[in-house]
Structure 1
Amino acid sequence: MSPLQTIEDLMSQALAIEREAVSRYNELADIMETHNNAEVAALFRQMAQYEQHHVQHILADMGWADDVVAPRSGGMWTTPEAPETVAFEDVHYLMHPWHALKLALQAEERAQAFFDDLARRASTDSIRRAAEEMRDEEAEHVALVKAWLEKVPKPDDDWADDPDPPRYID
Structure 2
Amino acid sequence: MKNNNIHRFLAHAVRLEADSAQRFDELADAMQTSGNHEVESFFRKMAHFSRLHLAEATARAGLGHAPQLSPEEYQWPDESSPEASDWIGVDGLIDVSYALQMALAGEQRACQFYTAIAATTSDIRVRQMAEEFAVEESQHVAELEKWIARFSERRA
TM range (shorter): 0.7 to 0.9
Give the distance between the partners of 1:91 and 1:154, measured in 2 at CA: 25
Question: Does the CA contact (< 8 Å) of 1:13 and 1:70 recur in 2?
Answer: no
Partner in structure 2 of residue 102 of structure 1: 101
Partner in structure 2 of residue 51 of structure 1: 50
With structure 1 as the length reference, what TM-score do the two structures score?
0.72
CA drift at 1:93: 1.3
- Residues 5-45 of structure 1, C-alpha deviations (whole Å, 9 max, x = no match): 32111111101100111112212322333444434333322
Partner in structure 2 of residue 116 of structure 1: 115
Give the distance between the partners of 2:34 and 2:20, measured in 1 at CA: 21
Give the distance between the partners of 1:144 and 1:14, measured in 2 at CA: 21
1:10 and 2:9 correspond: yes
User: Counterparts of 1:68-147 in structure 2 under 5 Å?
Assistant: 68=66, 70-71=68-69, 72-79=71-78, 81-85=80-84, 87-88=87-88, 93-96=93-96, 98-147=97-146
- Residues 65-108 of structure 1, C-alpha deviations (whole Å, 9 max, x = no match): 3x646434434215454102372367671412x43322222111
Kindly provide the amino acid, as one letter, of the partner of residue 121 in structure 1. T
Which shows bigger deviation, 106-115 or 145-154?
145-154
Alpha-carbon RMSD across the aligned residues, in angstroms, is 2.8
Kindly provide the amino acid, as one letter, of the partner of residue 14 in structure 2. L
Question: Does the CA contact (< 8 Å) of 1:43 and 1:100 recur in 2?
Answer: no
Distance 1:62 1:109, change over 3 A: same
- Residues 119-148 of structure 1, C-alpha deviations (whole Å, 9 max, x = no match): 222142322222222212211222222233
Unaligned runs of 5+ in 2: none
Partner in structure 1 of residue 20 of structure 2: 21
SS of residue matched to 1:152: helix
Moved over 4 A (4+): 89-92, 154-157
Question: Does the CA contact (< 8 Å) of 1:116 and 1:135 recur in 2?
Answer: yes
The answer to which structure has the higher helix fraction is 2
Question: Does the CA contact (< 8 Å) of 1:18 and 1:52 recur in 2?
Answer: yes
Kindly provide the amino acid, as one letter, of the partner of residue 93 in structure 1. L
Give the distance between the partners of 1:91 and 1:121, measured in 2 at CA: 38
Give the distance between the partners of 2:99 and 2:10, measured in 1 at CA: 28
